[in-house]
Amino acid sequence: MAQSCYLLSGSSPSPSIFSSSLRSNKYSKKNTCTTITTTSSPPHHLPLFPNSSSSKSFIPFSSSPSFGFGSVRKKEKSPPPTIMAGSPGKNQFASASDHLRHVGSLSTLSSGAGKIPHLNAIVLGEGLASEENDLVFPSQEFSSQALVSSPAQYLEMYRKSILDPSGFWSEIASQFYWEKKWPQQQQVYTENLDVRNGDIKIEWFKGGMTNICYNALDRNIEAGNGDKIAMYWEGNELNQDGSLTYTQLLHQVCQLANYLKDIGVSKGDAVVIYLPMLMELPIAMLACARIGAIHSVVFAGFSADSLSQRIVDCKPKAVITCNAVRRGSKVIHLKEIVDAALVDSAKNGFSVGVVLNYANESAMKRESTKWTDGRDIWWQDTVPKYPTTCAVEWVDAEDPLFLLYTSGSTGKPKGVLHTTGGYMIYTATTFKYAFDYKSSDIYWCTADCGWITGHSYVTYGPLLNGATVVVFEGAPNYPNASRCWDIVDKYKVSLFYTAPTLVRSLMRDGDEFVTRYSRKSLRVLGSVGEPINPSAWRWFFNVVGDSRCPISDTWWQTETGGFMITPLPGAWPQKPGSATFPFFGVLPVIVDEKGTEIDGECSGYLCVKNSWPGAFRTLYGDHDRYETTYFKPFPGYYFTGDGCRRDKDGYHWLTGRVDDVINVSGHRIGTAEVESALVSHPQCAEAAVVGVEHEVKGQGIYAFVTLVDGVPYSEELRKSLTLAVRKQIGAFAAPDKIHWAPGLPKTRSGKIMRRILRKIASRQLDELGDTSTLADPSVVDQLIALSDQ
């Protein structure tokens, strides 16, 4: 029986949907609203799980008849949704009266852990906080066709995922191919998130044997989708394009996999991939996965020093790169960067025997490429000679899939390790629901595969669903600011996923670059990498989406593998700038400085109190750092490093990093990394780096630099310091501002007071707070006086 609960506007607001631990019974007796019980299911509700089989006669994930994998309904033109100011929309969310507030209410449930309350969420009506009055509703036509079409359906599915995670995720996992199922007599997952109880441990589907490449390619081909386009490729120039069907993609993956095996790469070996956004990048990832090798993609904007660090750490059997890439009007010589990195890695005790080079002749001719005989191999001369079939290496669900290095507050990059089975299930499922994916959709994510978004939502998540993906090599503002919309119209893109930095940049260029293109194919928009400010959200919605496309404003991390808090576009009204509610199986909590969970409306540290299939398992070669960074700050929880505010309606608002990591254009950069690069300069005595608000990038890098005695400040020195950072890390980490500092504000124990530096950098000079504890308070006045130099 389905329950609906209504509160008259003016009655007490219901408690937040995720305001407290699911183990408390705090609100179960406080809900005094009238309950209306019906025998009908929520609109267009689909059975939760399909019939499935572990044999090869599987139900294709992208077309199975239930759990949201239903047939595609005929699209009709939708009336545009509207931004509402505290009043209900006239669609399936509204009741018969505009004065009613619809509340999704689940009664108190029983579980082995005792009573848990239920998910009370105010969805419509008045009484919203003044800064959160605006609600954006999907159209009734959109919601009626959505995989999750109502708050009630979301709440029921979420409830199942929390109360019975083993049952919930094993039903989904059964829709994929497993050479051997995980042992049915044991629980699907094992977890210990509390360092007080021993080593941190997370395992999902352990004992099950599968292969993510097989599930992404062979499985879809066997389902009859071999001739479907898997990837469209759009090059840097307007006349550069190409495509691969699923069958063609599999053939190229197998050829590369066979080559890798021939040079001695086997299960458990690492391969570093340093490529631009050519189709060869996901091909290389999938080829490694097919033979059980561990790929480590390094963003092709990192410097030789950064690449060398990663090579020395993971010790790859081979490096895959290309001679050069053209980004906009610039040519970047990637092979030369690799050469320099390998010289450095050899000095640090590790040499690479094979460098496979793709000849990207649109950027650089082969004959101009510097070459090392016996080590360097041309892709085009070698890989196509290998067979187009390759035996699958079946791996345990807990065997490593990839390493991806991310910035940390200590300076040394962290090798985030993801395993196969749980990551496969989680990325496929999050992609499906967060984008309301239909088999007819054309999907484009603007991210690079050098970052986690490119792993999860350019490559694995979409292909596991049998989707058609656009891969874009160029720059979104080249040759002009309309390039994105030219691509959207050219390929009839229906799902468009990008970063707030790009949204703000395009917004600044003006509406005319957008509106000259049709964009009628667009159906769902998405945002990733950092919180999106409400004004950028509204521009994205109103101008790009013509006020008709819901926005999936996703929050997640390299470490989480997939979306953690995200709207489901047909289920909830949205608040511009809010990530809304958690994805299935995720229990986010907000804690105070002491690690105590805070109920209701609050701000604090965002943590997660349970494991989920897509979670990373360790930091490569450094499990102690894994525990210290993520699990010791608040024992019993995964600490995200982010701050969060939860409003009284349960919506989550990410407030940014609370550690020494800066989020620049969606890229996490450790302050210690930048400081280390600055002080490597012979004329820099000391440096301290903080993040400041940036109108385009979200956060900018602001560096306070103390020079060696006797060295004068100069513009030439400023450029030289910036170049040092570009060389050691990459251009994306270059400081936006270098502030000359005769000294830095330190306590008597020598600790730099970054709080004060952030206030000075942000020009919040009346909020400096108590400076009496500084060893030399006069330093603050000197820094303020030098602010404009």
- Three-class SS of 601-614: CEEEEEEECCCCCC
At 318, list the tokens.
Answer: 């081979």
pLDDT at 708: 85
**The pLDDT of residue 287 is above 60:** yes
Q: How far is CA 33 from the centre of its chain?
A: 38
Whether residue 679 sits in one domain with residue 565: no
Whether residue 464 sits in one domain with residue 553: yes
Residue 529: HSE in the Cβ half-sphere, 13 Å Cα cutoff: 27
Element of type H or E holding 4: strand 2-8
Q: Mean pLDDT across the stretch 422-446?
A: 99
Instruction: Please report, as a single letter, which amino acid is at residue 117.
Output: P
Instruction: Please report, as a single letter, which amino acid is at residue 287.
Output: A
pLDDT at 28: 32
Q: What are phi and psi of 546, to 5 degrees?
A: 50, 35
DSSP-assigned letter for residue 41: P
Q: Using omega within 30 degrees of 0 as the cis cutoff, is the peptide bond preceding 15 cis? A: no
CB 498 within 8 A of CB 446: yes
Confidence band for 504, pLDDT divided at 50, 70 and 90 = confident
Which one, of 304, 408, 314, lies nearest residue 669 by Cα? 408
Whether residue 223 sits in one domain with residue 322: yes
Picking from 451-460, 480-489, 497-506, which range would have the lowest pLDDT averaged per residue? 497-506
Strand ranges, E, within 532-584? 551-553
pLDDT at 661: 79
Q: Domain end: 586, 614, 641, which one?
A: 586
Give me the domain span that covers residue 675.
Answer: 665-785
Share of the chain above pLDDT 70, in %: 81
Is residue 187, in this structure, part of any structural domain at all?
yes
Q: Mean pLDDT across the stretch 116-122?
A: 31
**The pLDDT of residue 472 is above 50:** yes
Per-residue pLDDT of 336-363, as tens digits, reads 999 999 999 999 999 999 999 999 999 9
pLDDT at 13: 31
Whether residue 280 sits in one domain with residue 389: yes
pLDDT at 186: 81
Number of domains making up the chain: 2
Which one, of 480, 560, 475, lies nearest residue 235 by Cα? 475
Q: Is 370 exposed, middle or buried (0-12, 13-18, 19+ CB in 10 A)?
A: exposed
Strand order in the sheet with 294-297: 376-378, 354-358, 318-322, 270-274, 294-297, 400-406, 414-419, 618-619
Cα 486 to Cα 283, 478, 490, distances in angstroms: 26, 11, 6
**Rounded-to-10 torsion of CA 681, 683, 686, 691:** -60
Angle of CA points 60, 66, 69, to nearest 5°: 55
Active site residue 660: no
At 738, list the tokens.
Answer: 């270098």
pLDDT at 671: 81
Q: Mean pLDDT across the stretch 107-127?
A: 31
Per-residue pLDDT of 15-61, as tens digits, reads 333 333 333 332 233 332 322 222 333 333 233 333 333 333 333 33
- 532-569: b (≥16 Cβ within 10 Å) or e: bbeebbbbbbebbbeebbbbbbbbbbbbbbbbbbbbbb
Q: Domain end: 548, 564, 586, which one?
A: 586
Whether residue 257 sits in one domain with residue 406: yes
pLDDT at 57: 30
CB atoms under 10 Å from CB of 73, counted, come to: 12
Is residue 13, in this structure, part of any structural domain at all?
no
Q: Domain end: 524, 554, 586, which one?
A: 586
CA distance 327 to 776: 47
Q: What are phi and psi of 326, to 5 degrees?
A: -105, 120
Reduced to 3 states, what is the DSSP secondary structure of residue 231?
A: strand
**The pLDDT of residue 117 is above 90:** no
Whether residue 430 sits in one domain with residue 314: yes
Picking from 308-312, 468-472, 743-747, which range would have the lowest pLDDT averaged per residue? 743-747
Residue indicated by tokens 């985030």: 416
**The pLDDT of residue 384 is above 80:** yes
Picking from 456-470, 574-588, 734-748, 770-784, which range would have the lowest pLDDT averaged per residue? 770-784
Cα 381 to Cα 41, 124, 338, 377, 504, distances in angstroms: 59, 62, 20, 8, 43
DSSP-assigned letter for residue 288: H
Reduced to 3 states, what is the DSSP secondary structure of residue 405?
A: strand
Whether residue 554 sits in one domain with residue 692: no
For the chain, what is the mean pLDDT? 83
Whether residue 339 sits in one domain with residue 469: yes
Cα 59 to Cα 62, 227, 228, 392, 417, distances in angstroms: 9, 19, 18, 20, 30
Per-residue pLDDT of 550-564, as tens digits, reads 999 999 999 999 999
pLDDT at 535: 86
Picking from 108-117, 563-572, 724-733, which range would have the lowest pLDDT averaged per residue? 108-117
pLDDT at 749: 58
At 512, list the tokens.
Answer: 């005319």
Strands 495-498 and 468-472: unpaired
Per-residue pLDDT of 405-424, as tens digits, reads 987 655 678 999 999 999 99
Cα 570 to Cα 85, 118, 156, 282, 654, distances in angstroms: 20, 22, 15, 30, 22
Is residue 93, in this structure, part of any structural domain at all?
no
At 625, list the tokens.
Answer: 């750092």
Is residue 648, in this structure, part of any structural domain at all?
no
Cα 708 to Cα 661, 683, 746, 778, 785, distances in angstroms: 26, 5, 18, 20, 20
CB 243 within 8 A of CB 273: no
CA distance 251 to 283: 10
Give the CATH number, domain containing residue 771. 3.30.300.30
**The pLDDT of residue 391 is above 90:** yes
Q: Is the dihedral of CA 565, 570, 572, 575 positive or negative?
A: positive
Picking from 104-108, 188-192, 401-405, 503-507, which range would have the lowest pLDDT averaged per residue? 104-108
pLDDT at 698: 85
Whether residue 276 sits in one domain with residue 180: yes
Share of the chain above pLDDT 90, in %: 65
For residues 132 and 126, which has the higher predicted lDDT (pLDDT)? 132
Strands 34-38 and 83-85: unpaired
For residues 108 and 445, which has the higher predicted lDDT (pLDDT)? 445
Enumerate residues 6+ apart whose C-beta is below 8 A from 545.
Answer: 519, 522, 525, 551
At 596, list the tokens.
Answer: 């105590």
At 621, list the tokens.
Answer: 């070669």
Which one, of 379, 311, 318, 373, lies nearest residue 340 by Cα? 311
CA distance 627 to 191: 13
Which one, of 540, 395, 556, lies nearest residue 461 by Cα? 556
Give the CATH number, domain containing residue 429. 3.40.50.12780
Q: Report the helix count and the strand count for the chain, using DSSP H and E.
A: 22, 38
Confidence band for 126, pLDDT divided at 50, 70 and 90 = very low
Which one, of 489, 513, 599, 463, lies nearest residue 117 by Cα? 599
Whether residue 705 sits in one domain with residue 569: no
Whether residue 416 sits in one domain with residue 290: yes
Which one, of 411, 93, 484, 448, lies nearest residue 459 by Cα? 448
At 6, list the tokens.
Answer: 């209504």
pLDDT at 482: 96
pLDDT at 765: 85
Residue indicated by tokens 């990498």: 529
Instruction: Please report, as a single letter, which amino acid is at residue 192.
Output: N
Angle of CA points 408, 412, 415, to nearest 5°: 75
Which one, of 105, 126, 115, lies nearest residue 31 by Cα? 105
Strands 134-136 and 83-85: antiparallel
CA distance 257 to 251: 10
Is residue 367, in this structure, part of any structural domain at all?
yes
Cα 519 to Cα 262, 472, 486, 491, distances in angstroms: 46, 18, 9, 10
CA distance 458 to 92: 33
Q: Mean pLDDT across the stretch 492-499?
A: 98
Confidence band for 772, pLDDT divided at 50, 70 and 90 = low
CB 233 within 8 A of CB 444: no
Is residue 47, in this structure, part of any structural domain at all?
no
Region label for 224, one of left (φ > 0), alpha (ψ between -120 and 50) or beta (otherwise): left
Is residue 191, in this structure, part of any structural domain at all?
yes
**The pLDDT of residue 453 is above 50:** yes
Reduced to 3 states, what is the DSSP secondary structure of residue 456?
A: helix
pLDDT at 79: 38
pLDDT at 789: 65
Q: Which of 164, 305, 344, 659 is catalytic?
A: 659
**The pLDDT of residue 720 is above 70:** yes
Whether residue 672 sits in one domain with residue 531: no
Is residue 202, in this structure, part of any structural domain at all?
yes
